[in-house]
Structure 1
Amino acid sequence: MELMEETFNIVSETERLVIKPLKKADYNNWLHEFESRYPSQHRHDQGKMDMSDCTLEWFHRLVDKHQELALQDIAYVFGVFRKDDGKHLGMVDFSTLARDDFQWGRVGYSIHNQYWRNGYGKESVKEALNIAFKYLNFHRIEAHINIANQPSSKLAESVGMEYECTRKGFIYEFGQWTDNLVYFKNSNECC
C-alpha cells in the first residue's frame, strides 16, 4: 500500500536552508547531488557512492518508507535544501530511543562533501534540534559519534550539545565494535 506523501510534512526554514521530509518530486535533485559528491575526504565520509540501484521507483519506496517510519514514531528523516536554488545539501534524521517518561531520541546528520565548510551542517542541525523539541516532542536528543570523527564532534559542540560520556564498544562499524562519544541536549536548554 502506498502511503500518502503528505502525512509527515514538517517544514522549517533558516536564513539559507529549508529542512523538510523528502518528497517524490525531489528525486532528480537528490540523485544529482549524491552523484556530484567528491571522493571520500576521510574515514567517516562515504564520499562518492554507486547510485546505480537508486532508480526513481527505488526513491519513491524510500520516501514511502520515511513516511511509514515517521507515522510509527520510529524515525524522522529530513532533507536539507538550500533556499536560494533548492539544491539538496544533505540529511538530518532523528530516531526515537524511548518515549513515555523519557522522550529520548538520537540525531544523525550528513552534508554532501561538496558543500562542506559553508556552515550548512551547523545551521541545519541547529534548526533540526528546534524541530525535535518543538514538533516531535523529544525532551533529550543524543548524538553518538565515533571517537575518531572530530568534524562531527565539533559540529555537535557548535550547536550547543554537551559531551556526556564515552560508551565503549557501542556501535558496530568498520567491521568492529567501536567506542562512541555521547553528546546531548535537553529541550529546556534549547531555543
Structure 2
Amino acid sequence: MELHTERLCLRPYTNDLAERVAELAGDEAVAATTFVPHPYTLEVAEDWIALHKDWIEKGAAYPLAMILKESNELVGTMTLRVDEKHHKGELAYWVGKPYWNLGYATEAAIRVVDFGFEELELNRIWSAAITSNPGSTKVMQKAGLSYEGTLKQDIYHWGEYKDIDVYGRIKNVG
C-alpha cells in the first residue's frame, strides 16, 4: 500500500527506517509538542515498527512513513487509526523538526483524510493536538477538519496537565 502526493510517498514502515525514526521522534522539541514518548530510543522505534504489519493487515491502523520523493528521506509519520465499529478514524502525526513549516504534514494529512473517506469509507475523521501546538491545529484545519472543542487538562504531559483541541470532519461535510 502506498499513497502519493506531489512531494511525498506515504508507505508502510520498514525496519531500515528505525534509526531515523528514533533520531527524528527522539528530538525533545517533537516530544514537547506531541504525544510521542520521550526519550524515543532505537528499541522503541523497532518495537513500534514491528507492530505495523499486523495493524495494517487488520485495518486497525495505517502508520505511514512520510518519505520525500526527491531525496527518499523520512520526514515524519502520518497515521490513521481506525475504529471499525463506529466507522471513524483518528488522524495522528509527527514531523521531524528539520522539516517543520514546510507543508509536509498538511500535504500528507489531506491525502490520508481522502484515503479514509474514499477508500476505507469512514464516516468521520478526527484529530487532537495539545493546545500549545498551533502548527498541528493548522494542519488539521487545512486537511478540512473543523474545531469541535477543547478538552481541559485532558492529558498529563511533562509534569503538567494540558488542554487538547479536538478537530473533526464528517464524510461529505466540509
Correspondence for 1:106 among 90, 115, 128: 90
CA distance in 1, matches of 2:5, 2:91: 18
Residues 72 and 175 of structure 1, relative CA distance in 2, 3 Å threshold: farther
Matched residue, 2:107: 123
Across the aligned residues of Structure 1 and Structure 2, the Cα RMSD in angstroms comes to: 2.8
Q: Is the 8 A contact 1:30 1:88 kept in 2?
A: no
- 2:7 aligns with 16
- 1:118-167 deviations in whole A, cap 9, x for unaligned? 11111111111112122222211111112222111121112221001122
Letter of the 2:62 counterpart: Y
Question: Per-residue CA shift, 1:72-123, capped at 9, x if unaligned?
Answer: 33322111000111111100112223x34x3111110111111112111111
For residues 40 and 113 of structure 2, the distance between their equivalents in structure 1, rounded to whole angstroms, comes to 31
Match of 1:134 among 106, 114, 118: 118
Contact 2:12 2:63 in 1 (8 A): yes
Q: Is the 8 A contact 1:35 1:49 kept in 2?
A: no
> 1:42: how far off?
8.4
> Aligned equivalents of 1:120 and 1:163: distance in 2?
21
CA contact (8 A) 2:68 2:75 kept: yes
Question: Is 1:44 the equivalent of 2:28?
Answer: no
State the partner residue of 2:64.
78
**Is there any run of 5+ residues in structure 2 with no aligned partner, and where?**
none
Partner of 2:43: 53
Which amino acid in structure 2 is aligned with residue 161 of structure 1? L
Q: Which residue of 2 aligns with 1:91?
A: 77
Structure 1 residue 64, shift from structure 2 partner: 3.5
Identity %: 22
Paired residue secondary structure (2:163): strand
Give me the whole-angstrom Cα distance separating, in 2, the residues matched to 1:103 and 1:52: 34
The 3 A distance-change label for structure 1 pair 38 and 163 is same
> Which of 1 and 2 has greater Rg?
1
| Residues 1:13 and 1:165: Cα distance change in structure 2 (over 3 Å) | same
What is the rounded CA distance, in whole Å, between the counterparts of 1:83 and 1:15 in structure 2?
Answer: 8
Mark the CA change 1:103 to 1:171 in structure 2 (over 3 Å): closer, same or farther: farther
- With normalisation by structure 2, the TM-score equals 0.82
Secondary structure of the residue that 1:132 maps to in structure 2?
helix
Higher percent of residues as helix: 2
Aligned residues: 172
* CA apart distance, 1:41: 7.0
CA distance in 2, matches of 1:110, 1:138: 22
- The one of 23, 37, 41 equivalent to 1:35 is 23
TM-score where L is the length of structure 1 = 0.75
1:174 is aligned to 2:158: yes
State the distance in 2 between where 1:165 and 1:41 align: 24
